[in-house]
Chain A
Amino acid sequence: MRVIEGERVTKYFGGLAAVSNVDFHVDNGEIVGLIGPNGAGKTTLFNLISAAIALKSGVIRFKGEKISGLKPYQICRMGVSRTFQSVKVFSNLSVLQNVMLGSLYGAPAGMSDADANSEATELLEFVGLSNVSMIPAKDLTLANQ
C-alpha cells in the first residue's frame, strides 16, 4: 500500500524551480532516504509535504487521501510528523512540556492532561531523558534536543 505519494509536485521561489514535477511514493513498511547535493530541494520537498509552504502545482496524498491544501496541524493530526533540518524546540518550555504538546495536540481525538502527562513521561523514560524532564529545553545539549 502507498503510504505517501506525490504527483508532479512543483514549487517555484521566484523564477527558481526548487522542486519541479517530482513524482515519489513510499510504500507500507519501507524506509526511504532522499539524497541530493546542497540546494537540490530536499528540505523544500519536506516543507511541501508538511504544508510549511504551499505548493504551486501537483498533488500529495497520504494513505490515499489528498493532503496538499490542508493546514500543517491537520496533516499532523492525520499522522504525518516531521522534524526540521535545524533543531526547533520550545526553548523556554520544560522538556516534559515539549513532549506533552505532541500528545495533547498531535492526535486527532486529543487527550486529557493527565494522559498526556503520563504518555510524555513514558516516552522520556524510553529515550533516557527522565532525569532532565523539568529543565527548560534550551538547557539540553544539542544532541539531546
Chain B
Amino acid sequence: MDIIKFTSKKSFSIGFIGFVLVLLAALPLYAKGYTPILLTSIFMYVILSVSWTLFSGPTGYMSLATAAFFGVGIYTAAFLGKTLPLPVFIISGGLISSIVALLVGALTLRLRGIYFAIFTFGLVMLISNLLLFWELHAMETRGRFVVIVDYNTIYYTMLIIFVALMLTAYFIRRSKFGLALQSIGENEEAAAHIGINVTLVKVVNFAVSAFFIGAAGATIATRWTYVDPYIAFNPLFSFLPVLMAIFGGMGQLYGPVIGAVIFAYLQEILITRFAELYMLIFGVILVFSILYIPNGLVGLIQKWRKGGQAGEHASN
C-alpha cells in the first residue's frame, strides 16, 4: 500500500518535472523577447543559489566565494569568447573556476566558521583587484567587451547548465558522497574518525559547486557585452545566493530553487517600479523571513503538510 503510494507519487513528480522542462525548452517558440531574457536571469540566480547550497548546505561551511567563481567565469568568456566556440568557452569558465576552487579549498578548508567565510570573501576582493591592476597597468584598459550572443542561445545555455546542476545535486544528495558531506557538517572530527577523507570530500565538492557558478558567469557575460573587474566581481553575487537559499530553505533540493525564483522575479519587478527602494524592500523581506521562517519556505511547506505535528527539539 505504502509502496504503491510512494511510486505513484514519484512518477507524478517525474511527470511534472518533465512537463515543466518541455514547457521551458519550447519557450522561445511561444514567448518572444522579454520572457526568455527574464527567465535567463532567473535561471542564473537559481544556478548560483543551488550551487552555493550544494557545498555550504550539507557541510555548514559558509562560502562567500560565489562572486569570485562567477567573476572568473565572466572573465574567461571575455578572454576566450571571441576566439572559441560557445560551448568551449562556457565549459572553460566552469573548469577554471573549479581549478581556483581546488587551490583555494586545499588552502582554506581547514579554516572553520567565520574565518572561512571571511577568507572566501577576501578571495573575491583579491582576484578583482589583481585583474583591475592588470587591466590598468598591463593593458592600459579598464574593462573589456565580450562576444555578443543572441538571447535564445543564452537562454538555452543557461537552461542546460541548470538541468545539469539539478541532476548533479540530486545524485550527490542520494550518494554515499552526499552522506559523507552531511556527516562533515554534523561533526567533522567524528567523520574523519570513521574513515572519511574529509579534506578530499570538501575540496571536490567545492570544485563541483564552483564549476556551475563559473559556467553561469561565462554565459551571462555574453549578455552584459561589456565587463570590468567591478562588474564581474560584484560582491552582491556572494551574498544574494546565500539569502535566496535561506529564504527558500536548504533542507530540500527545491528550497534554493524556489527562493531564487521568487527573489529574482521580485528583483526584476522592484527594480523597474521602485528603483531606489528595491534594496530596502529586499532587506525588509529578508529580515522578516529569517525571523519568522528560519527553515525557509521549504520549512513552512513541510510544517503545513505535517499539520504542525513536527516535534520541537531543545538542545540537551
Contacts and interface: CB of A to CB of B under 8 A. Distances in A.
B129 interface: no
Contacts of B193: 50, 52, 72-73, 76, 81-82
B180 A105 contact: yes
A84 B179 contact: no
Contact of A73 (B179, B186, B198, B316): B198
A138 interface: yes
A57 interface: no
B187 A71 contact: no
Nearest to B311: A139
Nearest to B186: A90
Contacts of A138: 313
Contact of A76 (B183, B195, B313): B195
A71 B189 contact: no
Interface of B is mostly: helix
Contacts of A142: 316
A90 B183 contact: yes
B190 A93 contact: no
A19 interface: no
Interface string A77-101: 1000110100011111100010011
B179 A97 contact: yes
Interface size class of A (residues with CB under 8 A): 20 to 34
B139 interface: no
Contacts of A6: none
A90 B187 contact: yes
A101 B180 contact: yes
30 contacts: A50-B193, A52-B189, A72-B189, A72-B193, A73-B193, A73-B196, A76-B193, A76-B194, A76-B195, A77-B195, A81-B194, A82-B193, A84-B189, A88-B187, A89-B187, A90-B182, A90-B187, A90-B191, A91-B186, A91-B187, A92-B182, A93-B179, A97-B179, A101-B183, A101-B191, A102-B195, A104-B179, A106-B194, A106-B195, A107-B195
Given A52-B193, A84-B190, A101-B179, 14 more contacts: A50-B193, A71-B197, A71-B199, A72-B189, A82-B193, A89-B187, A90-B183, A90-B186, A100-B179, A101-B183, A101-B194, A104-B179, A116-B176, A139-B313
Interface of A: 50, 52, 71-73, 76-77, 81-82, 84, 88-93, 97, 100-102, 104-107, 113, 116, 138-139, 142
